[in-house]
Structure 1
Amino acid sequence: MTLALRAMTRLANWPDLAEARPSCGTGRALRSAQGEIVHFHSDHDVDLHLTDRAIRRFEDHLKGATAVRMVPGSRWVTLHLEVDADIDLLLTLVSVALQAHLTSPVADDAVPASCNDR
C-alpha cells in the first residue's frame, strides 16, 4: 500500500471529511462542509488547501519542512510523501486546515483556486 493510499484511508475515517471528486479532475479528494481540503494526485504527491491566514501563521514551519512545497500566491501546499513521518505531518496539517476553514472562513477561501497539480 502506498503512503498516499495509507494517508487517504486514515483521513477517510475522519468524521469531518468525505470523499469527493477533486475540482482539478486528477486523483481523489477529501472535502469538509466548508470545501475541498486535500487532493491525492499520485502515490506520493498530495495537495492541501489551507487558508491564507493559516499559511501566513505557519509559513516558517512549512518552508522548513522538506516534504512541503509552497507555490507563491497559492492557498494550496504540496506534500511529497516519502516516509511514514510525512503522513503524520499531513494529518497534522489537515487538522490545521479543517480548523482554519471552520473558525476563520474568509470569502476568498470559500472557493479554492486551482490546486498545485498543474
Structure 2
Amino acid sequence: MTLALRAMTRLAVWPDLAETRPSCGTGRALGAARSEILHFHSDHDVDLHLTGRAIRRYADHLKNATAVRMVPGSRWVTIHLEVDSDIDLLLTLVSVALQAHLDGQLTGDDLLPTACNDR
C-alpha cells in the first residue's frame, strides 16, 4: 500500500471529511462542508488547502519541512510523502486546515476558489 493510499484511508474516516471530485480533475479529493481540503495526485504527492493566515503563521516551519513544497501566492501546499512521519505531518496540517475551514476562519482571499498546485 502506498503512503498516499495509507493517508487517504486514515483521513477518509474523519467525520468532517468526505470524498469529492477534485476541481483540478486529477486524482482523488477529500473536502469539508464548504470547500476542498486535499487532493491526492499521485502515490507520493498531496495538495492541502490551507488558509493564508495558516500559511503565514506556520511559514517558517513549512519552509523548513523537507516534505513540504510551497508555491508563492498559493493557499495550497504540496506534501511529498516519502516516510511514515510525512503522513503524521499531513494529518497535523489537515487538522489545522479543517479547524480554519469549519470554524468560519475563512476571510477575504480564502473564500475565493483557487487552483491546487498540480498544474
Distance 2:33 2:101 in 1: 9
Residue number in structure 2 paired with 1:3 = 3
Q: How does 1:26-37 map to 2 (within 5 A)?
A: 26-37=26-37
Matched residue of 1:69: which SS? strand
Q: How does 1:1-118 map to 2 (within 5 A)?
A: 1-103=1-103, 104-118=105-119
Gaps of 5+ in 2: none
Shift of 1:23: 0.1
Shift of 1:38: 0.3
CA RMSD of aligned residues (A): 0.9
Gaps of 5+ in 1: none
Structure 2-normalised TM-score? 0.96
Structure 1-normalised TM-score? 0.97
Percent identical across equivalent pairs? 81
- CA shift digits 1:51-97 (9 cap, x unpaired): 00000000000001000000000000000000000000000000000
Matched residue of 1:115: which SS? coil
Matched residue of 2:19: which SS? strand
Q: 1:107 to 1:33 in 2, by over 3 A?
A: farther
**Paired positions, count:** 118
Do the aligned residues in 1 keep the contact of 2:20 with 2:31 (CA within 8 Å)?
A: yes
Q: Which aligned runs of 4 or more in structure 1 are off by greater than 2 angstroms?
A: none
Distance 2:33 2:76 in 1: 18
